[in-house]
Amino acid sequence: MKRIRRIWPQLFPSSPPLTEANVPDQTGKVIIVTGSTSGIGYELVRILYQAGGTVYMVSRNEAKAEIAIKRITEAVNKAIQKKKVTTKPGIIKFLQVDFSDLKNIKPFVEDFLKAESRLDILYNNAGVANVPSSERTAQGFEVHMGTNVVAPYVLTRLLSPILISTAQDPSTQPNSVRVVWSSSMLVDVLVPPEGVPPQELENPNKDQHHNYAVSKAANWFLAVRFAKLLGPKGVISLTQNPGNILSPIFDAAPRVTFWLTKPVLLKPVEGAYTMLWAGLSPDITVEDGGKYVIPRGRWHPKPREELLNAIKDKEEDGLGLAQILEEWCEMKTRQFR
């Protein structure tokens, strides 16, 4: 019964509080969306650009990004001509990075810092799924852990100074600077009680679906750790499950998995609505750091108690596994920061 209460509102979510129809004006804001040439990230870029933001489309494929940017700008311009959109659009900029190789991340951040003096929202959206467990990143990490967890850890660490300076700028609205991590409903149904088993950091499981689910739990764990680090300085860090989305991430999934889940799959734009709420809702404050958002924009009603215990520090009578993950990421990535 507890499991049903956890997953039911994620499979059949309530109406979204924030959409392109009522998103606040984003003029003056600078936003990074990783993994954004298709799927949820693409729709999120479209909505934020339409609302006036300066949005960085971050991807490893420049050709795909150029096509995506052209499609978005043409669609928004057409909507303006038909008076379906009354806001003045912002600007979309492209920066290239391949998260399967950590040495690419620092140059990416340096290029961003040359161009911008503020960063209002970092959406850690990029990720891979259903990749064979035999595959490794350039640094030898299991590919889900390396791409979905270690890479955004490095990115967030390197961008933390500009996030903090933006939050502390007198012109910045309090509670508006955020880091949004991406999780999955699999955290509620597939990951072990420890969430991120420490022994698997060096000796990954051979089940690729297990590894993907653990990487999504790890995103939540890091969201909590960065909330502790950045929250006192005015930056909110939280995680969200955008929903079971029909997106290119299913390209590598077994066909039976796709067809069994298709009846409850949401459109990519519905996943973007979840991320909009996590990134823009005025009801979210630094006190909410580390919390978990579910589709299409509400707090998780019943997170797994064993995972909450795994996340808590030992000083808080928890297992301290989120801290172990953070320390492991810190140790493994020092040379890339």
Instruction: Quick: pLDDT tens for 2-14.
Output: 777 788 888 888 8
Q: Which residues are catalytic?
A: 212, 216
- Spatial CA neighbour of 292 closest among 305, 281, 303: 303
Beta-strand ranges (E) seen in 105-250 are 121-124, 178-182, 236-240
What pLDDT does 8 receive? 82
The answer on pLDDT for 88 being more than 90 is: yes
What pLDDT does 105 receive? 99
Classify domain 1-302 at the CATH topology level. Rossmann fold (3.40.50)
Helix, strand, or coil (residue 94): strand
Q: Count Cα atoms within 13 angstroms, Cβ side, for 242.
A: 29
What pLDDT does 259 receive? 53
- Measured distance CA(316)–CA(323) in Å, rounded: 12
What pLDDT does 83 receive? 80
Calculate the alpha carbon distances from 271 to 12, 251, 294 in Å: 13, 17, 10
- Measured distance CA(25)–CA(169) in Å, rounded: 19
The answer on pLDDT for 331 being more than 80 is: yes
- Measured distance CA(51)–CA(54) in Å, rounded: 9
What pLDDT does 9 receive? 85
Roughly what angle, to the nearest 10 degrees, separates helices 268-280 and 39-50?
60
| Residues pairing with 299 in the sheet | 293
Instruction: Quick: pLDDT tens for 206-238.
Output: 999 999 999 999 999 999 999 999 999 999 999
Tell the burial category of 7 from Cβ atoms under 10 Å away from its Cβ (0-12, 13-18, 19+). Answer: middle
What pLDDT does 265 receive? 82
Number of DSSP helices (H) and strands (E) in the chain, helices first: 13, 8
Q: What is the DSSP letter of 89?
A: P
**Per the structure block, which two tokens stand in for 100?**
């399967």
What pLDDT does 233 receive? 99
The answer on pLDDT for 118 being more than 60 is: yes
pTM, whole model, 2 decimals? 0.95
- pLDDT band for position 1 (cuts 50, 70, 90): low
Beta-strand ranges (E) seen in 120-175 are 121-124
The answer on pLDDT for 267 being more than 70 is: yes
Helix, strand, or coil (residue 239): strand
250 vs 74, higher pLDDT: 74
The answer on pLDDT for 65 being more than 60 is: yes
Q: What is the DSSP letter of 315?
A: G
- pLDDT band for position 149 (cuts 50, 70, 90): very high
- Measured distance CA(264)–CA(152) in Å, rounded: 28
Instruction: Quick: pLDDT tens for 292-313.
Output: 999 999 999 999 999 999 999 9
What pLDDT does 87 receive? 86
Q: What is the DSSP letter of 269?
A: H
- Measured distance CA(235)–CA(106) in Å, rounded: 21
The domains of the chain are located at 1-302
**Cα separation of the two ends of the chain:** 45
What pLDDT does 255 receive? 56
